[in-house]
């Protein structure tokens, strides 16, 4: 199988034709291509996901402006000088692994919270709408309090972890790069 290696000389409108399309489209790195005139000519789908900046807001911007925008974001960045054909450079960006791990932990934390929250919500609804005997009411109310305590413990643990992470990050500013 012959691999296309001369894609850098192709005009941007032919980008989708060259065999690197898959890499461009599926790369976890956000990529912005800067043309020989120094303007952003193309971004891949991951670029918007990584930066939260829409492609429309970036297209046509000068490289200095692109650099300023990306510099304001907490992103891992690489710039590869190309200077070949219509291309001057590629800017690669991705969210730091620590940030991804943080988001995953937050998502997990949210799911952990839903369990006691479900119990509190459910038992509160039952207590409000059903006529239970006093012993049952006391039992359900005790469960509510237990679950509030459980949620409180989860939140405190998460706060402790977050504070520890911030302390580590502040004592070693490059740990997230």
Partner 1 sequence: MKKLLIVDDHPNIRRMIRYALHDRFVVEESDSADTAYQMLMKAPPDGIVLDVMMPGVMNGFQLCERIKRDSSLADIHVVLVSACGQVADQELGRSLGANAYFVKPFSPLALAHHLIGALMQPSDRSA
Binding positions for partner 1, rule: CB under 8 A: 110-112, 114-115, 117-123, 125-126, 129-130, 140, 143, 147
Q: DSSP 3-state helix, strand, coil percentages of the chain (rounded to 5)?
A: 60, 15, 20
Classify 83 in phi/psi space as left (phi over 0), alpha (psi -120 to 50) or beta.
Answer: left
User: Is 114 or 163 the residue whose CB approaches partner 1 more closely?
Assistant: 114
Q: Any bridge partners for residue 146, and if so which?
A: none
| Min CB(117)–partner 1 separation in Å | 5
User: Is 111 or 134 the residue whose CB approaches partner 1 more closely?
Assistant: 111
Exposure of 176 by Cβ count < 10 A (0-12 exposed, 13-18 middle, 19+ buried)? middle
| Min CB(110)–partner 1 separation in Å | 8
30 secondary structure, DSSP code: E
User: Is 78 or 114 the residue whose CB approaches partner 1 more closely?
Assistant: 114
| Min CB(159)–partner 1 separation in Å | 21
User: Is 18 or 109 the residue whose CB approaches partner 1 more closely?
Assistant: 109
User: Is 8 or 154 the residue whose CB approaches partner 1 more closely?
Assistant: 154
Mapping DSSP to helix (H, G, I), strand (E, B) and coil, where does residue 83 land? strand
12 secondary structure, DSSP code: G
| Min CB(138)–partner 1 separation in Å | 14
Burial annotation 40-68 (CB, 10 A radius, 16+ → b, else e): bbbbbebbbebbebeeeebeebebeebee
| Min CB(49)–partner 1 separation in Å | 16
């Amino acid at each position: 199988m012959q691999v296309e290696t001369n894609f850098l000389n192709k005009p941007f409108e032919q980008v989708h034709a060259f065999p690197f399309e898959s890499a461009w489209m599926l790369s976890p790195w956000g990529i912005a291509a800067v043309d020989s005139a120094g303007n952003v000519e193309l971004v891949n789908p991951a670029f918007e996901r990584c930066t939260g900046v829409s492609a429309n807001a970036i297209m046509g911007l000068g490289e200095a402006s692109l650099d300023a925008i990306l510099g304001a974001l907490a992103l891992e960045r690489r710039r590869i000088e190309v200077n070949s054909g219509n291309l001057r450079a590629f800017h690669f960006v991705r969210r730091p692994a620590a940030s991804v791990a943080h988001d995953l932990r937050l998502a997990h934390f949210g799911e952990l919270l839903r369990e006691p929250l479900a119990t509190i919500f459910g038992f509160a609804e039952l207590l409000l709408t059903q006529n239970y005997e006093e012993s049952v009411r006391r039992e359900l109310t005790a469960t509510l309090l237990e679950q509030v305590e459980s949620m409180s413990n989860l939140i405190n643990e998460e706060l402790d972890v977050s504070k520890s992470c911030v302390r580590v990050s502040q004592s070693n500013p490059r740990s997230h790069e």
